[in-house]
Structure 1
Amino acid sequence: MAKKVLVVEDNELNLKLFCDLLRAHHYLTQGVRDGRQAVAQAREFAPDLIIMDIQLPHVSGFELIGHLKADASLRTIPIMAVTAYAGREDEERIRGAGADAYVSKPISLARFVESVRALL
């Protein structure tokens, strides 16, 4: 059975790219563009992995990670942050917030897929 991946990304082109790439590697995907809907979508979709942007409108990725990790039914789902924040301090801050992996934009397609495989 295919693993399920929830992609939280406000940029429509990035969302399509990530979902298409994951589908090409036989993952089931669901995309959400509004971080405010991500927790409800995660509960409904029950993903094996959550991929999310850190720079989201309305709710920051840091806040969203906190909400996901605070929810007993979601806290064990690994989170991969995909962000334009590319400094060493940024990665430490993102991992410190609870992300299990970090990929900087612009993404390397091979590294992106490798990171997904490693988490699943």
Structure 2
Amino acid sequence: MTKILIVEDNDMNLDMLSRRLIRKGFEIVTARDGQAGVEQATNEMPDLILMDMSLPVLDGWQATRAIKGDASTSQIPVIALTAHAMDADRKNAMDAGCDAFHTKPIDLPELLDQINKLITN
């Protein structure tokens, strides 16, 4: 079963996305801030990370840099999830090491397509 780490501080977003992905057959682990996301990435070794960019403690950009900068987690694909939809936001996420970018609100079919492309590569 594919394990996805969702790093999201908004309870409603976390609950909604977790339930939808569980129904699609994914195993879900969660973290509610960027630092916890880095720790969960190391402890859980998920197949993919969905990273909110606006997080407490460490923001999503800092957390992604930490994950991609650690040899043990650097190969885990990270999809940036953000309400910030400007080209500069996409560039900043990709510069931080994200493998894909998805704007909120979540378009589940599109997100599933991104997930499937990244976990099959």
Shorter-chain TM range is over 0.9
**TM-score normalized by the length of structure 2:** 0.93
Distance (whole Å) between structure 2 residues aligned to residue 30 and residue 98 of structure 1: 21
Report runs of 4+ in structure 1 exceeding 3 Å deviation. none
Structure 1 residue runs without a partner (length 5+): none
Who is 2:96 aligned against? 97
CA RMSD of aligned residues (A): 0.9
How far is 1:105 from its partner?
A: 0.7
Q: Note the alpha carbon deviations across 1:19-67, whole angstroms, 9 max, x for none.
A: 1111111111101112211122111111000111000012111111111
**TM-score normalized by the length of structure 1:** 0.94
Which amino acid letter does the alignment assign opposite residue 81 of structure 1? A
Who is 1:83 aligned against? 82
Matches within 5 A, 1:20-35: 20-35=19-34
Distance (whole Å) between structure 1 residues aligned to residue 33 and residue 97 of structure 2: 20
Which amino acid letter does the alignment assign opposite residue 86 of structure 1? A
What is the aligned-residue identity percentage?
A: 37
Structure 2 residue runs without a partner (length 5+): none
